[in-house]
Amino acid sequence: MPSPLKNRIALVTGGTGALGRAVVKRLVAGGARVHVPWIVEREVAELKSYLGKLASKVTLHSSDVTDESSVRALFRQIAERSKRLDILANICGGFAYAALEETDAATWKRMLDMNATSAFLCCRAAAPLMKKGGGGRIVNVAAGPALNRGAAMMSAYAASKAAVLNLTYSLAEELRPAKITVNALVPTVIDTPANRKAMPKADTSAWLKPEEIAEVIEFLAGDASRIVTGTAVALNKS
């Protein structure tokens, strides 16, 4: 059976994080060649160790996807090296938990930059490459509060993820004629080291494994999802 993503070119933002690593591995194992921007050098070593021999199919770029000029340079490198882009998975993101009066402007801006601006800049840069190649797949990561009318103590985070969700809906309509699908994942709590550290007494049995989310992204990145677009895919363990 042929690899479902054989010879596809992908970009995974946030690809050196806990969820991002799982997504990169899944796409590479499926036959794709993956570009990964990074900021923290320690995480690069962790990604290479996690991937093992599969690391040879990954191209790493020192790049800040919240910065417009950095994103332009990143996509220029992708175009020069790979000539096209078939898959964009916007995994880059951040979280903030605080009461409104304890949320400063810097936190508000950081949430918008990490969650919404990064997705906007990369989607905008990816669209021309995907159109040139005849189509593509974009997967963004939203969050429960974006669908559920917000959440207490999460105003900045919820607002930024709502922006991601509405960006997804808008781009799905705009890019449909170009055969580019745009979907968003809406996960519950993800089982990452950072979340376990932040919630040491939580019941983790219902938390989502990064590998489970990566499976869904692989589906949305492939041919079988060609008629799925403009969808918020809720991810919950039953």
Q: Which residues are catalytic?
A: 157
Which residue blocks in the chain are alpha helix, DSSP H?
18-29, 41-51, 68-82, 105-111, 118-132, 144-147, 155-175, 193-198, 210-221
Backbone angles phi, psi at 175, to 5 degrees: -100, -5
* Whether the Cβ atoms of residue 127 and residue 106 lie closer than 8 Å to each other: no
The C-alpha atoms of residue 70 and residue 140 are separated, in whole angstroms, by 20
The DSSP output letter for 117 is: I
3-state percent helix, strand, coil for the chain, nearest multiple of 5: 55, 15, 30
